[in-house]
């Protein structure tokens, strides 16, 4: 699936009939672009690419089908639903290359701001923000693929065949990176608000760095909970981290810089507008129908006045008119500017509810209520508490508690947060997926390694079966 992406091109042509070699050397200098950029001027590109390419395009579009938030009802998305060609090395080649492009930018910034030998050794704000972005991109890469290169990666011609590292090791890097980011942001004495596409409106140093520190702690909680199958202290560690995380919806790590135009819109809107590959899944609609969930009318379009879900694995291949579709990406001006969440307040509250339940903390129900209320509020609804009382509380019976916590999270995370639902399902097996091909062919447990790696670094690329080999934190063996 080809990426829909921003392409910025600058072309300059000169014709010279008679001039010396020295003159030509002078003519060919691009005086508008310096050879070396300051770290702060590289940061906006890292933020934009992380939000747009890493979070909101191909990986998420495949994940929404695998996790049955959506049904693929056209072209490549239909193939994903029917498990056709999903092991191909070309499937998400662009996404792999895009993430490593971002990580290369991040490594460049980190080298420039290295406190020991960097030319901007005291630029703690840019360094701290970049470390958060680095940790986030590393997590997406290892969550989607498993073992990945990092220590030897993104070094250009210094090493064209980087070794792959175990996911257990990568997760150590992620937590250490976030810890160091918090330290550096607490040291920060300057910032560049105009370079910050997420918290730039918080244009005082104290408020801005506090926002990024909360984001770092919130991500730490997410990544601790990711290891619930591997670390007996995962829930306790997550609770310790989230105590310093988001306390309100407006603190989330959210990219909200899209514009209502055909070239600067939210990529989910562009994907629907240009390709119309996805329809509402009967699986998700079924969970919502069982709970009389009022968000159905906020989430989906109607066909002849009715909500019509597409059955995963067997839906007709159609682009319009047969099944309901997402209202978040269905063509109107508002849909063009829907923000991209890297991690939201309601996700953190669901993490809190799960972690407290796993820790036998008696306040887990209060945390779940807060999570549901926050999820409803994120969609403009003030009826979350009433829904919880009417539809959720009675389902919190002995042995069913975790299932309901994670089902509520699954419903809340539709559409833009599909990758996190994909991660949750692979970690817990909740909720139950309905695509019959999960049994006959297999659930897609991870993405195939990129064609670019298979072509240039094949000796180091792990050999995996995407239908059989789970990633390490989901219970799989490391290669």
Tell me the backbone φ, ψ of residue 175, rounded to 5 degrees: -65, -40
pLDDT per position as a tens digit, 119-164:
999 999 999 999 999 999 999 999 999 999 999 998 888 899 999 9
Tally of CA atoms within 13 A in the half-sphere of 410 that contains its CB: 32
CB 69 within 8 A of CB 155: no
CB 164 within 8 A of CB 459: no
Instruction: Classify 470 as helix, strand or coil.
Output: coil
pLDDT per position as a tens digit, 442-478:
999 999 999 999 999 999 999 999 999 999 999 999 9
pLDDT per position as a tens digit, 398-443:
999 999 999 999 999 999 999 999 999 999 999 999 999 999 999 9
Q: Which two tokens stand for residue 401?
A: 């508690």
How many degrees, rounded to 5, is the angle at CA 381 between CA 376 and CA 382? 95
Which domains are seen in the chain, by residue range?
39-263+336-474 (1.25.40.390)
Burial class of residue 440 in the structure, from the number of CB atoms within 10 Å of its CB (0-12 exposed, 13-18 middle, 19+ buried): exposed
In Å, what is the CA distance from 367 to each residue of 67, 253, 317, 354, 363? 25, 20, 41, 9, 7
Q: Which residue matches tokens 């079924």?
A: 286
Name 217's Cβ contacts closer than 8 Å, sequence gap at least 6. Answer: 178, 182, 241, 242, 243, 244, 245
Q: Which two tokens stand for residue 362?
A: 């008696």
Region of residue 158 (phi > 0: left; psi between -120 and 50: alpha; otherwise: beta): alpha
Give residue 331's pLDDT band: very low, low, confident or very high (50, 70, 90): low
């Amino acid at each position: 699936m080809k990426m829909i992406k921003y392409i910025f091109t600058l072309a300059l042509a000169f014709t010279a009939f008679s001039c010396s070699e020295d003159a030509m050397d002078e003519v060919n200098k691009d005086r508008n672009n310096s050879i070396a950029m300051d770290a702060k001027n590289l940061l906006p590109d890292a933020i934009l690419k992380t939000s747009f390419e890493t979070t909101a395009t191909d990986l998420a579009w495949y994940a929404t089908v695998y996790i049955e938030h959506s049904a693929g009802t056209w072209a490549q998305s239909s193939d994903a639903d029917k498990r056709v060609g999903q092991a191909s090395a070309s499937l998400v080649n662009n996404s792999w290359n895009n993430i490593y492009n971002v990580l290369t930018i991040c490594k460049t910034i980190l080298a420039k701001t290295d406190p020991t030998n960097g030319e901007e050794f005291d630029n703690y704000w840019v360094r701290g923000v970049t470390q958060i972005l680095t940790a986030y991109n590393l997590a997406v890469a290892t969550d989607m693929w498993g073992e990945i290169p990092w220590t030897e990666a993104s070094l250009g011609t210094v090493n064209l065949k980087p070794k792959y590292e175990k996911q257990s090791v990568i997760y150590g890097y992620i937590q250490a990176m976030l810890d160091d980011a918090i330290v550096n942001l607490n040291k920060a004495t300057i910032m560049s608000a105009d370079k910050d596409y997420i918290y730039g409106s918080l244009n005082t140093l104290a408020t801005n760095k506090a926002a990024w520190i909360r984001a770092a702690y919130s991500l730490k909680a997410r990544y601790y909970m990711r290891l619930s199958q591997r670390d007996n202290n995962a829930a306790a560690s997550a609770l310790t981290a989230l105590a310093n995380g988001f306390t309100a919806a407006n603190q989330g790590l959210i990219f909200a810089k899209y514009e209502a135009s055909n070239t600067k819109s939210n990529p989910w809107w562009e994907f629907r507008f240009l390709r119309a590959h996805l329809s509402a899944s009967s699986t998700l609609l079924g969970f919502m129908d069982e709970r009389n969930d009022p968000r159905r009318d906020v989430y989906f379009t109607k066909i002849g006045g009715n909500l019509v879900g597409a059955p995963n694995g067997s839906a007709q291949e159609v682009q319009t008119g047969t099944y309901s579709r997402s209202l978040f990406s269905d063509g109107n001006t508002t849909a063009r500017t829907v923000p991209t969440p890297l991690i939201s307040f309601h996700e953190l509250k669901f993490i809190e509810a799960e972690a407290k339940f796993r820790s036998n903390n008696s306040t887990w129900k209060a945390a779940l209520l807060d999570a549901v209320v926050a999820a409803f509020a994120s969609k403009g609804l003030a009826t979350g508490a009433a829904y919880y009382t009417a539809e959720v509380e009675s389902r919190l019976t002995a042995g069913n508690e975790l299932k309901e916590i994670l089902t509520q999270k699954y419903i809340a995370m539709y559409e833009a947060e599909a990758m996190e639902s994909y991660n949750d399902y692979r970690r817990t097996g909740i909720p139950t997926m309905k695509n019959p091909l999960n049994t006959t062919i297999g659930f897609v447990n991870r993405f195939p390694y990129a064609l670019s790696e298979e072509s240039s670094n094949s000796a180091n690329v792990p050999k995996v079966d995407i239908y059989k080999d789970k990633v390490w934190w989901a219970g799989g063996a490391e290669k």
